[in-house]
Structure formats: structure tokens, C-alpha cells
Amino acid sequence: MEDKKNWKKCLILMISFTTLLMLLAAGLVLLIDPFFHFHAPLPGFSYIMDDERYQNDGIIRNFDYDILITGTSVSENFRVSLCDELFGGTSVKATCAGGYYREIADTERRALEYNPDLKVVIRSMDTSFVLFDKDYRNPEAPDPVYLYDDDPYNDEEYLFNGDVLFEYVCPIILRTIRGIPSDTMEDYMRFAEDRPLGAAYALQDIVTIEPAVLQRHLTEEERLMLTENIRCNLAANVEAYPDVEFYYFFPPYSIAEWIGAHIALGTMPAYIETMEIMTGEMLKYDNVHVFCFYDDTDMITDLNNYSDMYHYSGEISDRILEQMAAGEHELTGDTYREYFESVEEFYTNYDYALMFATE
């Protein structure tokens, strides 16, 4: 009988101790809140900012800002300090590498809903992600719904999460004790300094520079899907917030992308048509500014600006912000068709063998 009583006491003590540890862990997560789910960063703690799909929603709900930078990885190297200077405000980044249009639109919409002070949105319009169903999301990317579904009853997935505790909370405490400075929005998701540039990297995925015999146009099905995607994931937010200025830009992919992803695959006319349709749809709204940099052929053809066929240097990221703020390379309803005609002519007739002269 005595042994049975002792066993019960031991079990109660173990359960109590385990519960206490779990509550302590949850309390630490709640206090430090590494994903900013409940509050902005606390002063004095050395925060780790390195996981946009887990931290973005907290940023757009709990940080102070009036300028939002969003889009895919081509927007990750923008410096918020430069953006603040050029556009006159306080910027945050909430980008989604590999994000499809629905994912980016949801991020943009959440910022617009939660922040009545938001006045400017800067967003990439990646042509490589637009010819998909309007609701398509990246199946390979994390999708932590419990962080942004507004359901408080599933927050235990965050509060009682071992990865959050041991990969974020504990390292944040150790960094704070050691006096390591906190990560900042300036460097959040920035990779420009980590990737080498040049032709060897920009051309690594080029298989051939021979144009495909047949160059196809968009099918009617693709046009319908494209238009629906634009209207649901670009125009809807623009329409709903007419007092916000939207700066949308086509990322200036390298000359290698033009041959590798379009001309050699026979999709050049479809590519131009895609950009024309997107531009035409967005220029229906007075609060949208559309930018395209493909007329800056010196930049596009200089592979020293690129770490692969898609991603450009930090200096080019700075230039994009500067030019958008100055209204350079902005498309208008009167000129955009002529603009894309000249772009198509240049890149169709470019001597792609010149790419290898810089290797």
C-alpha cells in the first residue's frame, strides 16, 4: 500500500514538474516572442531575424511603419534606410522567397488591413510566378497558418514549440548575455553580400543559346488565368485602398534569363504579352505606378550585376529604389505598348554569344 502511495506521489510530482517546465517554456516564448506574433521586439534583447515566412506576419502587424516592401527574393536586398530616405517614411520588409502571387497578395493585404498608416507599397511583379492559378501557393515553402489565421486557440503550436524554444528563444537569450547586437530590418533576409557575382554564376544554367524554331504566344486559357490572377492578387488590394500608392516593378532579370528561360524555350512572344497584359491591367488605377528596367540594356547585359540569371546585386537593388522614387523607367498608358515592342526587338536580336565574352 505504501509503495502505491509513493508511486502516486511520484507521478503527481512528475506531471507537476513537466507542466511547470512547459508553462515556463511557453512563458519565455510569449515574453521574447521571436516571431513577433504578440508584440514588437522588446528593447534590450538580441533578436534573430532570419525566417520571413514565420516572422513576416508579426512584422506587418506589430511594427511601426508606413512603407511596405514585399515581393519575392528579388526584393530581399532592398535597404530600408535608403527606402526611408527616398520615399520619406519608415519601411519594413515582408518578402517571401519563392512566393506565388496569392502568397504575396495575402502579405500585402494583411499589412493594409492592420496598418491604417500605410501609405506606400513596393512590390515585385515576378513574371515567373504569374501564369498559375490565382490560389496557387509554393508547395515546398513553410505555411505556418497558426501564425496568421487570427485564431487564438491554435497559438499553442507556437507557444509549446520545441524548435521555437531551442532555435530562437534560447539563442536570443545567449546572444543578449554575450552582448551581440540584435538583427535589424536593414539586414533582414538580405543576401547580396553572401553571393558572388559574374558570368560564371549567371550562365551556370544556360544549356543553349539557339532560339527555338517556334516561338509561341499565350493561349486563351493562359490569358484567362493570367487576368484572373492579376485581378485577384494585384488589383483587388489596389482597388480596396485607393489612398495608398503602389509601386509595382518587373524585376530586371539578366540577359541570360532572356535566352535561357524564353527565347531558347520558344516563349518569347508569350513573355512580352504577359508583361503587356499585367501593365495594362494595373495602369487602370491611378494609385499604381508600374516600372520596368529592360530598356537599361547596359545593366541587363552586364553579368557582373548578377549572382544567377534572376538575382541582381545590392547595388542594382539600390538603383531600382532610386529610379522608382525619381519616376524613372515608369510605364504609362500611352507608351507601354511601344515600350514592350522595342524591348522585344532588342532581346530577340541580341547576340547572345557576347555573354560568354565576359566569362
- According to DSSP, residue 312 is labeled B
Sort 57 into a burial class: Cβ within 10 Å, 0-12 / 13-18 / 19+.
buried
Q: What is the pLDDT along the chain (359 residues), one digit of tens a residue?
A: 555 556 666 656 666 555 666 667 889 999 999 999 999 999 999 999 999 999 999 999 999 999 999 999 999 999 999 999 999 999 999 999 999 999 999 999 999 999 999 999 999 999 999 999 999 999 999 999 999 988 888 899 999 999 999 999 999 999 999 999 999 999 999 999 999 999 999 999 999 999 999 999 999 999 999 999 999 999 999 999 999 999 999 999 999 999 999 999 999 999 999 999 999 999 999 999 999 999 999 999 999 999 999 999 999 999 999 999 999 999 999 999 999 999 999 999 999 999 998 55
| Amino acid symbol at 267 | T
Q: Report pLDDT for 1.
A: 52
Q: Report pLDDT for 24.
A: 77
- According to DSSP, residue 72 is labeled S
Q: Report pLDDT for 6.
A: 60
3-state DSSP assignment of residue 85? helix
Q: Report pLDDT for 152.
A: 82
Which strands form 245-250's sheet, in the order they lie side by side? Answer: 91-95, 67-71, 120-124, 245-250, 288-292, 330-331
Q: Report pLDDT for 289.
A: 98
Q: Report pLDDT for 93.
A: 98
| Amino acid symbol at 221 | E
First to last CA, the chain: 84
Q: Report pLDDT for 336.
A: 98
pLDDT in tens, 128-178: 999 999 999 999 999 999 999 888 888 999 999 999 999 999 999 999 999
Q: Report pLDDT for 165.
A: 94
Q: Cell digits for 345?
A: 526587338
| Cα(1)–Cα(22) distance, integer angstroms | 32
| Amino acid symbol at 31 | L
User: Residues with Cβ < 8 Å from 44, sequence gap 6 or more?
Assistant: 176
Which 3-state string (H, E, C) describes the chain? Answer: CHHHHHHHHHHHHHHHHHHHHHHHHHHHHHHHCCCCCCCCCCCCCCCCCCCHHHHHHHHHHHCCCCEEEEECHHHCCCCHHHHHHHHCCCEEEEECCCCCHHHHHHHHHHHHHHCCCCCEEEEECCHHHCCCCCCCCCCCCCCCHHHCCCCHHHCHHHHCCHHHHHHHHHHHHHHHHHCCCCCCCCCCCCCHHHCCCCHHHHCCCCCCCCCCCCCCCCCHHHHHHHHHHHHHHHHHHHHHCCCCEEEEEECCCCHHHHHHHHHCCCCHHHHHHHHHHHHHHHCCCCCEEEEECCCCHHHHHCHHHECCCCCECHHHHHHHHHHHHHCCCEECCCCHHHHHHHHHHHHHHCCHHHHHHHC
